[in-house]
Amino acid sequence: MPQRHGPPADDPWDDTDSPLVGRPPTIEPAVREKFLAIGATIPVPYAFSHATAALLLGWPLPWLAEVTGDVHVMTPTRGNRVRRRGVVGHRGLEVRQISDVDGVPVVAAGHTWADLGELSVSGGTFALDGLVAAADQALNQGCTRSELDGILTSRGAARGVRNLRPALRWARRGSESAGETQFRLVMHRAGLPLPLLNKNIFDADGSWLFRPDMSWRARRVAVEYQGAAWHDSPEAAKADHARVDRAETHGWTMLAVRSAHVWSKPERDRALTEIAEAVGFPPDRLDLDAAEPRRFSAVYADTLMENLERRRRRHRAQWAASHSW
């Protein structure tokens, strides 16, 4: 019988049976050798940080963070930043916790999540929903909400904190991929009841049936996010069909969603309406406009507008001064 994984949840909604919870990160041998070779050229204490740390911790990265390919390295404040092509240097290692991931020094999960806030401002590579996905993974790897909140408090008014705080409020332990996080946020913002995340489902005799990405047990409804990388092979399609047949045999409704149901409004609206009808939620109470994926938190968006207006006033004043007689 499948077993529970990881420490007890510090929030009832973080209760999950996901095997990712409590599983230590591992690195492919070739990736390990690559980063150890980079580290061998750094003459001071260091750890990989920011998006590179997220990669080494096994977290999903936004597409833009993947294609840039920058390697983020953090060193102590008293020393110089690492400066070389393809490497982004940071300082502040002495106030971060460090994890050893297969021999590679990596900024620990909680501090890595907080550092990602810096990459969410001024056209950075992480949107608000990407920070939520990263927070989900930090919770999966043993961080608690109180720990993450304490790290944010210690950062004061550092860059990105205005996006990190609302991201933490949206985060939940149990989502296993960025796609699962994104569609969960779509449902949550539209007003649907919160689902359980990756909880084992058993039949009346106690035999294991399946572990859906999202489920509403009282209504016997489950939603599976089917990412192309995992579900488009013939083997995966066969396993998906078998899982659906098993679920429906035991009275469950299985619904599948894909990336189009996150990013395309018509597809998203149709999926949300179908799920609402399945779980007994009045479709006319859905807030379909609020379900849109978000780049910034409302607070940070307000800050951007304030800064823009301040810049406009300064330019108008400079123009008036240069044209005075």
Identify residue 11 by its one-letter amino acid code. Answer: D
CA distance 37 to 105: 12
Question: What DSSP element (H or E) covers 308?
Answer: helix 298-322
Say whether 278 sits in a helix, a strand or coil: helix
DSSP tag of 203: -
Whether 149 and 116 have beta carbons less than 8 Å apart is answered as no
Per-residue pLDDT of the chain (325 residues; tens, 9 = 90+): 443 333 344 555 678 888 888 888 999 999 999 999 999 999 999 999 999 999 999 999 988 888 788 999 999 999 888 988 889 999 999 999 999 999 999 999 999 999 999 998 877 788 899 999 999 999 999 999 999 999 999 998 888 888 899 999 999 999 999 999 999 999 999 999 999 999 999 998 999 999 999 999 999 999 999 986 655 667 767 777 888 888 899 999 999 999 999 999 999 999 999 999 999 999 999 999 999 998 765 555 555 455 556 667 777 777 777 765 5
Supply the Cα-derived Rg of the chain in whole angstroms: 22
Domains annotated on the chain, with CATH:
14-170 (no CATH), 178-291 (3.40.960.10)
Predicted TM-score of the model (pTM)? 0.85
Q: What is the DSSP string of 108-139?
A: -HHHHHHHHGGGGSSS-S--HHHHHHHHHHHH
Measuring CA to CA, which residue among 20, 45, 160, 62 is closest to residue 96? 45
Question: What DSSP element (H or E) covers 191?
Answer: none
DSSP tag of 324: -
